[in-house]
Structure 1
């Protein structure tokens, strides 16, 4: 099979059968396009012509680029290539997997940056007024407050929250979230977020909906169209500016804060794994390093013989 056809088949597989997001599929497409072009320059345009040495040479050349890419970028590139060849071997298209002995680069442990509880409250206030204080015509403020309250209350990815339908918010104190790979999970919603969402659905969304075409999406823009990931990111940036937060704040910052605050409050890491929708507890355990660091700081400042 020619490489272009093989890549197309693999991308259809991860998009349709595995249900990966458009963003993830687009990243794989970019990685594999560069890989196929590099092989073509060396006279290889068929799957059977790909060898372990060629794969190794390609990744080594990418890692030696100037300026050098981050280790995480090389790891993702290797993941794209490995996924392609494993798929082709599993489907019987290729006799052997040339990436079997490929070793990913070691990536440094980067601890997620979480806001303090006080900073989260300031951020929420910067997004919009609490439901009881909202002015009748402040549609966007009511929406933005509901959006940020929900992000922090559930630890949801911004892509998961902006894709919610109104029906997903109709389960009382739990939220149905569709995560990576189209996997659904039920996440509890606290009283503050519930009140903010209810205020948005009753006071703001009906008017926003009248401004655009009918859509089941819960969160709408000023013209009635579904709110995009980019618009949600901008909402958070503007809220952070109004709150006077100097640290970089992104949608994922609220997800990190959600997990960190739960663990600091005594939640079991397995419970946090389920709430975040992580496939492996190893992904969640990075947050335990954050809480251990916090414990160490308290110990050093509080124990009379710690220093």
Structure 2
């Protein structure tokens, strides 16, 4: 007698290769069944599929048990982000499951906040002039030339995913700090100054007291050096996949700007069209 398994697919696979850390996680009902985070940006393409196989095997998960795949779409490393997105789309097509593209900055914000709240002594207090409003989380990924991939989120704790206040983008850190200062002044005037500003992620270059000087008198800060973990892409993916999936064929990385090679090619093409 054939045993037809008709139970709903409750497990989810998460992938993110947008940073120097390769993150893979298997989740179910908001629980982390298995997670692997491996460093080595130049080797993501080599290690991703073996690590996926290892995570599935270690969690006792088969393709038939998966309800979907979530993938970090960046912004971040151009090559790295493409690796995970391509793998997620290929596996989703082969296994006939939905796929969800997740902001890597959103995952970074949630993970960095969780680490900061769990280890307050490990974060750097810059000033102590916080308010009573929800915490603000500012994820930072270095984008070179004084630029960062960043966004702004708000959260009242780590149990729920941070809520987006400002979209993902690439910004000059000096300009971004000024924009945050203006927002803080507006929030203070409205009686909604955030309790703490969490700068999380690649803070060594962009989270120093000097770079944050315009904010010193406006809010309470913590800077949390943090490397992205696959679990946060997974937890965000669970929520999104329960609400609806992305179109498999149109899902692409969020580059936020042209790659240097593409920019050079465009400049070259535009130059060749100029009248002689």
Into which bin does the TM-score normalised by the smaller protein fall?
A: under 0.3
TM-score for both structures, normalised by structure 2: 0.25
**Structure (1 or 2) with the greater strand fraction:** 2
TM-score for both structures, normalised by structure 1: 0.24
